[in-house]
Amino acid sequence: MGRSHTVLYLAQTGGGAGGLTPILMIALLFGVMYFMMIRPQQKRRREAEAMQKGLAAGDEVVTIGGLYGTVTGVDDDTVLLEVAPGVQTRYARPAIARVVTRAESTEPTSEPVTGDADAVKE
């Protein structure tokens, strides 16, 4: 009978690692959720904030409502858009969904422009 008690004792202590498995599975689930959902969302938010901070006059943009317009002025919290000739509306910066085209840069080109193009043809 002493032998049956030993077998019973070994069977009871063998399940000790089974209590750790559910905790590891939950931790693994949270890790996967972080890398698949939370981290990419934070990256998109940072990119959107950088795009909104980089707005300049002349940029053609689309608002979150789908309205196309050209940036005519930028303030700390607002953006002034021209949606039709002579029609300007003010929007909050976060309302700008994306930039369609950037304004032409005002940096000097490598070729200096001299005179009129028609004068060269004569």
List of the chain residues with pLDDT < 70? 1-18, 105-122
Separation between Cα atoms, residue 106 and residue 79, nearest integer Å: 20
97, part of any domain = yes
What is the predicted pLDDT for the residue at 1?
52
The tokens of 87 are what?
A: 């029609």
Helix (H) or strand (E) holding 88: strand 87-92
The structural domain count of the chain equals 1
Q: In this predicted structure, what is the pLDDT of residue 28?
A: 94
Instruction: Tell me if 67 is assigned to some domain.
Output: yes
In a domain, 113, yes or no: no
- Report the pLDDT value the prediction gives residue 112, as an integer from 0 to 100: 44
CATH assignment at residue 78: 2.30.30
Report yes or no on 109 lying in a domain. Answer: no
Is 42 part of a structural domain of the chain?
Answer: yes
pTM beyond cutoff 0.75:
no
Whether residue 41 lies inside any domain: the answer is: yes
User: Which runs of consecutive H residues, i.e. helices, occur in 1-122?
Assistant: 2-13, 21-33, 39-53, 117-121
What residue numbers bound the domain in which 51 lies? 19-101
**In a domain? residue 121:** no
